[in-house]
């Protein structure tokens, strides 16, 4: 196979120095939909992700090529419109790193940098549209690559995570929370990330689950409805917060509420269900953090199963394919737990499985899923991996 540098040269011509950067995808194994509700999420970065091979320029031009983006090089100058959908992510990062008039919270990844343009070649090892955060990986790898000549290894990864979230919210127009960008930027080899989204503080838990493996499972169902339903859930949670605040004016976020508050508030049936999931999931996350410390795999698995049930019946973001996949996975040999991961409505699920049973697990779940849906699932045995970084190849 050609090296990334050879592929780069074929598009942009040979010569000059190139650097290669990598940002992983992520899975969330507990706490989905808690990030924009002020809760805590449990995630890790994946071995698969997005590579950016970069040659810096000094004329302010950003040129972008993606193996999955057709045969065109997209050329972008500051302030120009971006018509190619995928290029809005990296072009937005460039705009926000450089734009003097952009909202800025101070610090490093702020306005007015001496970022001077680049030729970039993107290569992805993440499955397409699978909900493993390929867009966050694309943003973060671009921000890291563009800032690298200025800051080297001193780049503040939390800050680029915040910047990339702003890009996605305001430039691309997707109303995501902070979970994906943080997980992709900060991931640590062999560790699980515990991120409190109410103040963006975080710690790591050593994966320490010897004898167990994480298996990501792809429904291969395209994410129809994902965005509209995602926005609908966000709106419902905002409605819940406003109603809860009538009796609890100091309540900061839905994830900080409790059952008694829900009972005392006037909530429509749907809004009540969404809020109930949020409150219960936050409690599961707290329980899971304690279980991780003890290495209590059975409890972690049970919490994952309960989480899927909540996402299915209360938050209602799963769908037939994710339900079939998780139900098969929960019953399969060696499994302790399985749940959908990410926004839902198709995409991927994640299971925790006894290492010695992984082959049998994959065979059995694949067969049940095919029988139930007529579709083939894909499986990836994954380990918690490092976040964004410079790589040699």
Return residues touching ligand GLA (CB under 6 A): 28, 32-33, 35-36, 176-177, 179-180, 342-343
Q: In the bound complex, what is the minimum distance in angstroms from residue 105's beta carbon to ligand GLA?
A: 18
Whichever of 37 and 305 has its CB closer to ligand GLA, that residue is 37
Distance, in Å, from the CA atom of 47 to the CA atom of 32, rounded to the nearest integer, reads 20
Angle between helices 269-294 and 226-247 (to 10 degrees): 90
Distance, in Å, from the CA atom of 71 to the CA atom of 298, rounded to the nearest integer, reads 49
Cα–Cα nearest to 141, from 327, 338, 390, 376: 390
Catalytic residue among 32, 35, 180, 323: 180
Q: In the bound complex, what is the minimum distance in angstroms from residue 100's beta carbon to ligand GLA?
A: 28
Distance, in Å, from the CA atom of 326 to the CA atom of 43, rounded to the nearest integer, reads 18
* CA 185 remoteness from chain centre: 10
Provide the token pair at 332: 């399969």
Whichever of 153 and 199 has its CB closer to ligand GLA, that residue is 199
* CA 123 remoteness from chain centre: 18
Distance, in Å, from the CA atom of 324 to the CA atom of 27, rounded to the nearest integer, reads 19
101 given a catalytic annotation = no
Q: In the bound complex, what is the minimum distance in angstroms from residue 262's beta carbon to ligand GLA?
A: 20
Whichever of 18 and 181 has its CB closer to ligand GLA, that residue is 181
Provide the token pair at 358: 């992984």
Q: What phi, psi does 304 have (nearest 5°)?
A: -65, -45
Distance, in Å, from the CA atom of 35 to the CA atom of 30, rounded to the nearest integer, reads 11
Strand partners of residue 349? 217, 340
Whichever of 178 and 352 has its CB closer to ligand GLA, that residue is 178
Asked if residue 218 lies in contact with residue 130, where contact means CB atoms within 8 angstroms, the answer is yes
Whichever of 23 and 74 has its CB closer to ligand GLA, that residue is 23
- Taking the CA atoms of 205, 206, 209 and 212 in sequence, report the sign of the dihedral they define: positive
Whichever of 32 and 139 has its CB closer to ligand GLA, that residue is 32
- The residues, any chain, with a CB within 8 Å of residue 321's CB and separated by 6 or more, are 219, 221, 346, 373, 375
Q: Which residues are catalytic?
A: 180
């Amino acid at each position: 196979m050609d090296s990334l540098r050879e592929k780069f040269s074929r598009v942009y011509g040979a010569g000059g120095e190139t650097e290669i950067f990598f940002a992983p995808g992520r899975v969330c194994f507990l706490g989905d939909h808690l990030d924009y509700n002020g809760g805590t999420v449990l995630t890790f970065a994946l071995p698969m992700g997005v590579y950016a091979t970069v040659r810096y320029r000094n004329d302010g031009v950003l040129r972008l090529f993606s193996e999955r983006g057709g045969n065109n090089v997209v050329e972008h100058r500051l302030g120009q419109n971006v018509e190619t959908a995928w290029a809005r992510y990296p072009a937005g990062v460039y705009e926000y790193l450089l734009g003097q008039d952009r909202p800025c919270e101070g610090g490093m990844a702020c306005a007015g940098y001496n970022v001077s343009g680049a030729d970039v070649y993107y290569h992805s090892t993440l499955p397409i549209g699978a909900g493993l955060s390929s867009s966050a990986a694309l943003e973060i790898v671009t921000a890291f690559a563009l800032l690298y000549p200025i800051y080297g290894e001193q780049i503040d990864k939390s800050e680029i995570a915040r910047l990339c979230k702003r890009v996605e919210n305001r430039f691309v127009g997707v109303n995501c929370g902070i979970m994906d960008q943080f997980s992709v930027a900060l991931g640590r080899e062999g560790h699980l990330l515990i991120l409190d989204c109410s103040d963006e503080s975080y710690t790591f838990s050593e994966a320490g689950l010897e004898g167990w493996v994480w298996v990501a499972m792809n429904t291969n169902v395209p994410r129809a409805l994902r965005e509209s339903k995602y926005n609908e859930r966000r709106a419902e949670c905002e409605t819940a917060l406003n109603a809860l605040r009538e009796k609890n004016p100091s309540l900061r976020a839905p994830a900080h509420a409790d059952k008694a508050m829900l009972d005392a508030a006037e909530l429509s049936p749907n809004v009540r269900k969404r809020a109930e999931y949020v409150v219960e999931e936050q409690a599961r996350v707290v329980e899971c953090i304690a279980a991780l410390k003890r290495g209590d795999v059975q409890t972690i698995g049970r919490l994952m199963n309960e989480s899927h049930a909540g996402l299915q019946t209360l938050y209602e973001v799963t769908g037939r394919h994710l339900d079939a996949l998780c139900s098969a996975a929960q019953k399969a040999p060696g499994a302790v737990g399985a749940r959908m991961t990410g926004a839902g409505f198709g995409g991927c699920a994640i299971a925790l499985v006894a290492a010695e049973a992984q082959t049998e697990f994959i065979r059995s779940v694949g067969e049940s899923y095919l029988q139930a849906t007529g579709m083939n699932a894909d499986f990836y045995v994954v380990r918690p991996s490092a976040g964004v970084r410079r790589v040699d190849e």
